Amino acid sequence: MKEIEYKFLVDQEAWSKLDKPKPTLIVQGYISKSVESTVRVRIKGEKGYLTIKGKTEGISRSEFEYEIPLNEAEEMIDLFIHKYINKHRYEVIVDGKTWEVDEFHGKLEGLILAELEVESEEESFQKPDWVTKDVSTDPQYFNAVLIDKC
């Protein structure tokens, strides 16, 4: 499966004025990470996930995600994860497209990123006014890199 995703910084002031849906807490960490691939464990709300992602090329990469039992995700995080990301995710619909907006916590407090998955790199879309700089290809905003700051 292929993931094609744009990532943008979010204007905190404009974002704070929005009437937002209820967020979901996400806790995630990496069992393995390199330029070639990552293996991530995530708890999103009351569900667990194991995700394998390939090397990022532009805004695309291979992605395989599997739902796993919550207790197993919790155990994997306890056993294998030394640093993890805490963030609240908001799913905001804009012009029929779902934007996933992450507000980071802990040492990443203040960072807000918006992601939009698309069907192809040529697909056009309308950016909301609270979206600013495109950081899709900037590795410093990849979660696998951000986790080193936690």
Cβ neighbours, 10 Å, residue 56? 18
CATH code, 29: 2.40.320.10
Q: Residues 41, 77: contact at Cβ < 8 Å? A: yes
> How far apart, in Å, do the first and last CA atoms of the chain sit?
29
Q: What percent of the chain clears pLDDT 70, i.e. is strictly above it? A: 100
Catalytic residue (choose from 30, 49, 66, 141): 30
For the stretch 100-125, pLDDT in tens is: 999 999 999 999 999 999 999 999 99
Number of independent structural domains in the chain: 1
Q: Is 141 a catalytic residue?
A: no
Average pLDDT over residues 68-87: 97
Q: What is the extent of the structural domain holding 54?
A: 2-149
